[in-house]
Amino acid sequence: MKVIYEDNHLLVVEKPVNVPMQEDSSKDEDLLSLAKAYIKEKYQKPGDVYLGLVHRLDRPVGGVCVFARTSKAASRLSDQIRKNTFHKEYLAVVEDNGLKDSDRFEDRLLKDPKTNTVRVDPKGKEAILDYEVLKRKDNLALVKVDLQTGRPHQIRVQFSSRNHPLWGDQRYNKKAVIGQQIALWSHLIEFDHPTTGEKMTFISETDRYPFDI
């Protein structure tokens, strides 16, 4: 876990791939527990450490994310997410198949809690993203994705539904091989500081993105 920034209200880190955000049925080491242990040790905090989980990355996805160190910060960051003022950009490698240089995808996505899968469905919630192609090679495209909404599996499903599934996505790409790593990375988050109101931008540098083409 790489620490990118910290103060009395925030902890911004780079999540490793294949680490769950919080404890799940696998009982594998999770990012929230790692971050709490880091705070507890560094600041010699007695007892339990408060750390608010305000947004999530899918388990196989790595990159930049933020935790709140106070309940007030957690509430204010969550409010920004609800109002879509919390900005998120991702990098992904997708199957090209004639992908436009840039576009906006607008769908409605519905999650099936029994299978933990998402599909395009008129009964679902609005999902919007913008993207631009950064590079192409061998029918693959490296894209930068600007999320306008934050739905579960949104990037994966919106690209897959248009025949541009993500490389290594074993849930939504039929060509993915067991053991491949999904090529999706949280590249940038931007939000207003929960107490000062200052615009804060944090980037997981492109040279750390492990899925270039």
The 10s digit of each residue's pLDDT in 16-66 is 999 999 888 788 899 999 999 999 999 988 888 999 999 999 999 999 999
Question: According to the model, what pLDDT value does residue 212 have?
Answer: 75
Q: Where are the domains of the chain?
A: 2-208
Q: Which tokens go with 160? A: 């897959």
pLDDT 10s digits, 99-113: 999 999 999 999 999
Q: Which tokens go with 98? A: 């004639």
Question: According to the model, what pLDDT value does residue 144 have?
Answer: 97
Task: Name the percent of the chain lying above pLDDT 90.
Answer: 85
Length of the chain: 213
Give the residues across from 119 on adjacent strands.
Answer: 110
CATH architecture of 2-208: 2-Layer Sandwich (3.30)
DSSP code of residue 158? H
Question: According to the model, what pLDDT value does residue 27 have?
Answer: 82
- CB neighbourhood size of 79 (10 A): 13
Give, for 87, the enclosing helix (H) or strand (E): strand 87-95
Question: According to the model, what pLDDT value does residue 28 have?
Answer: 85
Question: Phi and psi for 182 in degrees, rounded to 5?
Answer: -60, 135
Q: Please tell me the distance from the alpha carbon of residue 113 to that of residue 124, in angstroms, as a whole number.
A: 13
Average pLDDT for 76-84 = 95
Question: According to the model, what pLDDT value does residue 19 have?
Answer: 94
Question: According to the model, what pLDDT value does residue 205 have?
Answer: 79
Question: According to the model, what pLDDT value does residue 29 have?
Answer: 92
Q: Is 145 exposed, middle or buried (0-12, 13-18, 19+ CB in 10 A)?
A: buried
Q: Which tokens go with 122? A: 């008129």
Question: According to the model, what pLDDT value does residue 26 have?
Answer: 80
Question: According to the model, what pLDDT value does residue 166 have?
Answer: 97
DSSP code of residue 194? T
Question: According to the model, what pLDDT value does residue 151 have?
Answer: 93
Which band of pLDDT confidence, cut at 50, 70 and 90, is reported for residue 187?
very high
The pLDDT of residue 98 is above 80: yes
Cβ within 8 Å of residue 94, ≥6 positions away: 140, 141, 143, 159, 164, 165, 166, 167, 183
Give the residues across from 63 on adjacent strands.
Answer: 15, 186
Cβ within 8 Å of residue 153, ≥6 positions away: 58, 109, 111, 117, 118, 171, 172
Which band of pLDDT confidence, cut at 50, 70 and 90, is reported for residue 210?
confident
- Give me the chain's average pLDDT, please: 94
